[in-house]
Chain A
Amino acid sequence: MNLSEFLHTAPEFSGMSVGDIASLEKAMMVRDYPDGHVFFSEGGSPDALYLIIDGEVAVSHLKGEERGYVVIKRMHAGEFFGLMALIDHTRRHASCKAVGKVRVASLPSTAFALLYESNSRLSNRFQLIIARQLARDFRSLVTVLRQNIFALDDEPINTMAYQGPERRSGSDRRAHVDRRKG
């Protein structure tokens, strides 16, 4: 699927007009990446925002020397990654790597800043999309925490990778406490 088709059909972008989508499309660059491609590493400077068009990206977090990098989230088509550091003006909070072949559209940080920091109608709709992604992250963490609060009876913490409530099987539905950052 190409970027235009994707932006016109993905529910995340349904609030955008044809003109909005054309503007966004112009600012983004689409590429296919091989399995294992590292988009960025924890601690690096944020240079772009990424949108998955097809495939899967693993987000991992360094959990100390002994445990090394732990996958804390897997992201899929329609999701942005690399968002938090761009908004927060900090270094990358996590590392992101392709799982299998992926098609990703990137928005350079300068274009992101222009779009995100402006008060235009287009910016408004873009900010809403960003806020919704963060809200989904928030709700996912809330779901995990409440499962722990109700399930825990002094149990040790379970550090299995958290992969999002919508993608977990029934047996995986408890005690995932790690979480994701992009």
Chain B
Amino acid sequence: MVISRDDFSSCFPDIAGNTDDGELDALLNALALRRLPAGENLLNDGDLTSSLYLVWTGMLVAYLEDENVSVELGKIHPGQSVGEISLFQPGPATATVKALTDCSLLMLPKEIFTALAREHPALTSKLLRMHAKMIIDRLNAADELLLGAEAMQARPGGMKKLFARIYYKLLGYEEDAA
């Protein structure tokens, strides 16, 4: 990878702040740069996925798809990530994610993460703890919103909007477009 520690740290301060220089170098070496042209899908809702993607440049959109219905969840920006859960628990993608502009992403497949765990257990320990805390924070945030759910029942379309908002929050994104 040709990304410097400093550039990475300014885009992903949480990861950089939790790792020392050696660990960060090991992570940067493990990440692969993937370019995604505007209009292409990074993930398709429901497809099996097992990689983490860190958004480096560009903007993507996440939406849910059913047979004939599509529900937009919101935009994904540099510094955010996609597929964190799949990294250690491969499973169906929880949304379709499509590039709105030309994007570059830093990809960490599960197999590489497993190899990192063998060579740099301290690094993967830190990443696992970060992710566990992140999931808990998201579950708590979703719970807070669910507590307010009953107040939304009287509003037309309120519940659907609320669930979409909770879903988006669970994926870890900001609320601006949800």
Distance from A62 Cβ to chain B, minimum over Cβ atoms (Å): 11
Write the A124-146 contact mask toward B (1 if CB under 8 angstroms, else 0).
10011011101111110110011
Which chain A residues lie closer than 8 Å to B158 at the CB level? Answer: 154
CB-contact partner of A137 in B88, B128, B135, B160, under 8 A: B135
Q: Is A5 an interface residue (CB 8 A)?
A: no
Write the A145-182 contact mask toward B (1 if CB under 8 angstroms, else 0).
11011101111110000000000000000000111010
- Complex contact A132–B88 (CB within 8 A): yes
Dominant secondary structure of chain B at its interface with chain A: helix
- Complex contact A145–B138 (CB within 8 A): no
Q: For window 89-144 of chain A, which residues contact chain B by CB distance below 8 Å? A: 93, 116-121, 123-124, 127-128, 130-132, 134-139, 141-142
Distance from B77 Cβ to chain A, minimum over Cβ atoms (Å): 21
Distance from A147 Cβ to chain B, minimum over Cβ atoms (Å): 9
Q: Is A87 an interface residue (CB 8 A)?
A: yes
Range for the number of chain B residues in contact with chain A: 35 or more
Q: Is B35 an interface residue (CB 8 A)?
A: no
Query: Nearest chain-B residue to A136 (Cβ)?
Result: B89
Q: Is A84 an interface residue (CB 8 A)?
A: yes
- Complex contact A149–B163 (CB within 8 A): yes
Distance from B151 Cβ to chain A, minimum over Cβ atoms (Å): 10
Q: List 5 A-B contacts (CB under 8 A).
A: A124-B125, A131-B89, A135-B85, A139-B85, A141-B139
- Residues of A participating in the B interface, judged by any CB pair closer than 8 Å: 84, 87-88, 93, 116-121, 123-124, 127-128, 130-132, 134-139, 141-142, 145-146, 148-150, 152-157, 177-179, 181
